[in-house]
Structure 1
Amino acid sequence: MRAFVGLPLPDDLTDRLEILAMGLRSGRAVPAENMHITLAFLDDQSEDVLAELHDELSSLHLRAPEIEIKGLDVFGGDKPRLLFANVEPNEALIALHKKIRQAARSVGIELSHERFRPHVTLRRFNRLHPGEHQELEHLIALQGAFAWPKFHAQRFEMVQSVLSHEVAQYETLASYPLAP
């Protein structure tokens, strides 16, 4: 089962981010209901391993991180793979990320070694043509200073991701409260 652990976002924020993403015609937009902050991508795991991870995550008592979403950017440099809203890292968010990764490793899940760069994916790209690349640069120039009022995450979730040709379908497997 393909899964990840992430932070859900308030509906009013995802609605605003979806509107921002609609400013582009190229690529595939991420629907508002799929927007989140990934804390750990678990890849394909058995139900037994995810059940063990659930037990580990249930025992964590972590402080709710303050979330500050600020600015738009791309991964992929000159050949953008995705457009995202940047999430400002902070001590509580990094601690949450580390604890979840430790829990995943403790049940035998191998995780990528990529640097944690918290973000919310808005659009995915295969290949941009020159006009589309200019359109993306224009959107970032106009909306790149986007900022949202800070908020505290209330919970994190383990989510199953089922891929399809259109858009991934997400199902929350478990939810874990965070301390205020």
Structure 2
Amino acid sequence: MRDRFGLYAADLLTMRLFLAIPLPEPVATRLAEVALRLKVGRPLPEENLHLTIAFLGEQREPALEELHCELERLHQPALPVTFGPLGTFGDSPGTVHAEVQLSPGLKALHRSVMGAVRGAGITLERRRFRPHVTIARLPRHPAPGDHAEVARFLGVHAATPLPDFTADRLILYRSWLRPEGSLYEDLADYPLG
């Protein structure tokens, strides 16, 4: 029998979850086109591009039920999303991403979501919120020249203009890790506005 999220009892041991803002198709298409110009790593499929607000990790169904109730009580306005340059994190990056400006609306949404997560009894590792959209995953064991290719790509494409958009919903996603790349499933949709 399926529960309210469409999950079967066998699926309910633990689930890898995150909360994110989905990208409108024109924005996702543009980011996917840019990612294809990178000659190393693996570009993310257009349908997997999103702006993560909170990564929840492995969670059990009772926590998911509590979180759903908390998130249904959120009343956050729709908010503008503006991109910054393309970049990477750290000296030995694992991804290439498009930075997102940390606007007051985005800060407020993140703060409210984290309050809902705590209200559901979920404890997360404390991390600084650095909004971004991952567009490509880089090799774990870079070949000679990979770092130079990433630097070349960023030198040419870092300032690529990306369209702004208005975020009008937050989605709870389930993620399955697979060798060929993650698969995401929408579990619940929470409107903003």
Post-superposition Cα deviations, 1:82-133, rounded to whole Å, max 9, x if no partner, equal: 1000101100101101110111111111112111000000111213234121
Correspondence for 2:134: 121
Which structure 2 residues correspond to residues 11-160 of structure 1 after superposition, within 5 A?
A: 11-77=25-91, 79-125=92-138, 126-160=140-174
- Contact persistence 2:98–2:133 (CA under 8 A): yes
The correspondence for 2:191, drawn from 170, 177, 180, is 177
TM-score when normalising by structure 2: 0.89
1:70–1:146 contact (8 Å) kept in structure 2: no
C-alpha distance in structure 2 between counterparts of 1:74 and 1:113, whole Å:
20
Q: CA deviation at 1:23?
A: 1.1
Shift of 1:50: 0.7
Contact 2:30 2:162 in 1 (8 A): no
CA distance in structure 2 between the aligned counterparts of 1:151 and 1:83, rounded to whole angstroms: 21
62-71 or 32-41, which deviates more: 62-71
Q: Is the CA contact 1:101–1:111 (under 8 Å) kept in the aligned structure 2?
A: no
**Cα distance in 2, alignment partners of residues 124 and 50 from structure 1:** 28
TM-score relative to the length of structure 1: 0.95
- Would you say how many aligned residue pairs link Structure 1 and Structure 2? 178
State the 4+ residue runs in structure 1 displaced beyond 6 angstroms. Answer: none
Query: Partner of 1:136: helix, strand, or coil?
Result: helix
Q: Which residue identity is paired with 1:67?
A: V
Deviations 1:16-75 (A, max 9, x none): 111111112322221110110110001011112111101110111101121001210001
Among all aligned residue pairs of Structure 1 and Structure 2, give the percentage whose two residues are the same amino acid.
41
Larger radius of gyration: 2
SS in 1 for 2:77: coil
Further displaced range: 143-152 or 49-58: 143-152
Matched residues in 2 for 1:146 and 1:97: separation? 26
- Consecutive unaligned residues of structure 1, counting only runs of 5 or more, are none
8 Å Cα contact 1:70/1:87 also seen in 2:
yes
Query: Do the aligned residues in 1 keep the contact of 2:21 with 2:53 (CA within 8 Å)?
Result: yes
User: Which stretch shifts more, 168-177 or 105-114?
Assistant: 105-114
